[in-house]
Amino acid sequence: ILNGNEPQDPFSISLVSDELSAIADQLRAMEPQDPFSLVSDELSLIADKLRAMVVSKVPELAFAAEYFFKTGVEGKRFRPTVLLLLSNALNVSIPEPPTQPKPPMRLEDYFPTELRARQQCIAEATEMIHVASLLHDDVLDDGDTRRGVDSLNSVVGNKLAVLAGDFLLSRACVALASLRNTEVFTLLSTVLEHLVTGETMQMTSAADQRCSMEYYMEKTYYKTASLISNSCKAIAILAGHTKEVEMLAFDYGKNLGLAFQLMDDVLDFTGTSASLGKGSLSDIRHGIITAPILFAMEEFPQLRAVVEQGFDNPENIEMAIDYLGKSKGIQRTRELARKHARLAAEAIECLPESDDENVRRSRRALQDLTHIVITRTK
Ligand code: FPP
Ligand code: FPP
Ligand code: MG
Ligand code: MG
């Protein structure tokens, strides 16, 4: 009589045990993770690869080119982290065109390591372009420290630092060309144009342009967000995704980059303490007008005259900071950064659904990054 009716361990009931383990997987994927730790092994591989990619037979050039790829001075590696996490996040089955009756297969099932190696190549080229732009930037800004050490220009002089930047760009181009994907090559080449455009817009702006929020956002896209957004798009293109997914990848990178830069502009005024005026004020000292001052100007139009006079006179800096303190400039810049961070997180939300735990974890990490960007204090 009892057969089949014995009391059972409720956890072993096969009817729900699969479901329970699926829920456990989901919960694990929802746990906040250190976004960097998910791809840390692969980041080390990329670091080794980068060191091998920048060798030169000319000793002076070899020293200069590898300077920022040495262990300990590799920087935050924000871009390769984002690009590897995105490669994971997009690792979903791509629907076959309807004419093909075969069940859809994941691209990685066809060539698992080959696709990944190609995506890693985007991460490597992106980091080389980034470092090249920093080498040139320190020449233009007369920067004497970078990543906590002497800048390259201060060690080897401007001429060799510029050449080392050019050398890195050419190595990045060779790496990208090896992918034999014209669309990806064009995207990343256009990023180089954008970096130069953004830097030149910043350097040569007329008073009217310096006071325009539109000009500032355009310059910020070129200088900061174009590299990460287009590399994100390249990751999606290599995986063979639809135009919609390519666009979501692009939107994630663009909005993350913009949020990052807006917070950078806030931190330049606020530093690590929340109070005004304790930041490094490096932008305004260099005559660079950023979002907090632009918002303050909307509230206090008289600030425009100060901005137009320039900031060679320290009294003008004090006056601008004064207006900024009375205004909602910092608060509104933070709100704008939060808006872009939210748009970035939403782009990840809109990706095609996936039950794969690694995919879900990586998406969660990408969303966590948007939060880290807007809550950082240094
Ligand atoms: C140095 O980059 C700073 C810049 C090139 C200014 C703009 C860059 C950002 C605001 C980062 C945006 C990028 C993402 C992915 C959100 P860095 O601070 O990354 O320098 P590092 O490589 O030395 O850490
Ligand atoms: C950091 O800005 C620099 C950039 C975001 C890009 C600079 C671009 C160029 C110099 C154009 C040349 C481009 C290539 C590809 C060689 P920052 O000075 O605001 O930040 P920092 O505080 O890190 O110096
Ligand atoms: Mg600089
Ligand atoms: Mg600069």
pLDDT tens string 19-68: 767 666 666 656 666 788 899 999 999 999 999 999 999 999 999 999 99
pTM: 0.87
The secondary element (H helix, E strand) that includes residue 250 is helix 243-270
**78: CA distance to ligand 1 center in Å?**
7
Atom 21 in ligand 1: residue holding the nearest Cα: 75
DSSP at 39: G
Q: What per-residue confidence (pLDDT) applies to 92? A: 86
Ligand 1 neighbourhood includes 257 CB (under 6 angstroms): yes
User: Taking the mean position of all CA atoms in its chain, how far away is CA 118?
Assistant: 19
CB of 283 closer than 8 Å to CB of 290: yes
**Sorting pLDDT into bands at 50, 70 and 90, what band is 7?**
low
Could you read off the pLDDT of 329-345 as tens digits, one per residue? 999 999 999 999 999 99
pLDDT, residue 98, reads 62
Q: What is the pLDDT of residue 19?
A: 72
Whether the pLDDT of residue 122 is over 90: the answer is yes
Q: What is the mean pLDDT of residues 212-217?
A: 96
Query: Residue 204 has what pLDDT?
Result: 93
Q: Is the pLDDT of residue 5 over 60?
A: no
Q: How far apart are CA 53 and CA 56, in angstroms?
A: 9
- Model confidence band, residue 89 (pLDDT cutoffs 50, 70, 90): very high
Distance (Å, rounded) from C-alpha 286 to C-alpha 268?
12
Ramachandran angles phi, psi of 146, nearest 5°: -155, 135
pLDDT for residue 275 is more than 60:
no
Pocket lining for ligand 2, CB < 6 angstroms: 129, 132-133, 136-137, 140-141, 143, 165, 169, 192, 195-196, 199, 223-224
- 240 pLDDT band, cuts 50/70/90, is very high
Of the listed ranges 64-68, 208-212, 270-274, 317-321, the one predicted with least confidence: 270-274
- Rounded to the nearest angstrom, the distance between the alpha carbon of 125 and the centre of ligand 2 is 16
The vertex-265 CA angle with 374 and 201, nearest 5°, equals 125
C-alpha dihedral (81, 82, 87, 88), degrees to nearest 10: 70
Phi first, then psi, for residue 149 (nearest 5°) are -130, 175
3-class secondary structure, 145: strand
- CA 133 – ligand 2 centroid, Å: 5
Is the predicted pLDDT of residue 95 greater than 70, yes or no? no
Question: pLDDT digits over 129-171, tens only?
Answer: 999 999 999 999 999 999 999 999 999 999 999 999 999 999 9
Given a cut of 60, whether residue 303 has pLDDT beyond it is yes
pLDDT band at 276; cut points 50, 70, 90: very low
Give the pLDDT score at 32.
Answer: 60
User: ipTM of the assembly?
Assistant: 0.92
- Tell which residue, 344, 351, 104, 339, has the closest CA to residue 246: 351
277 pLDDT tier (thresholds 50, 70, 90): very low
Distance CA 349, CA 367 (A): 9
User: What is the predicted pLDDT for the residue at 37?
Assistant: 87
**Ligand 1 and 220: CB distance under 6 A:** no
Mean pLDDT in residue range 199-208: 93
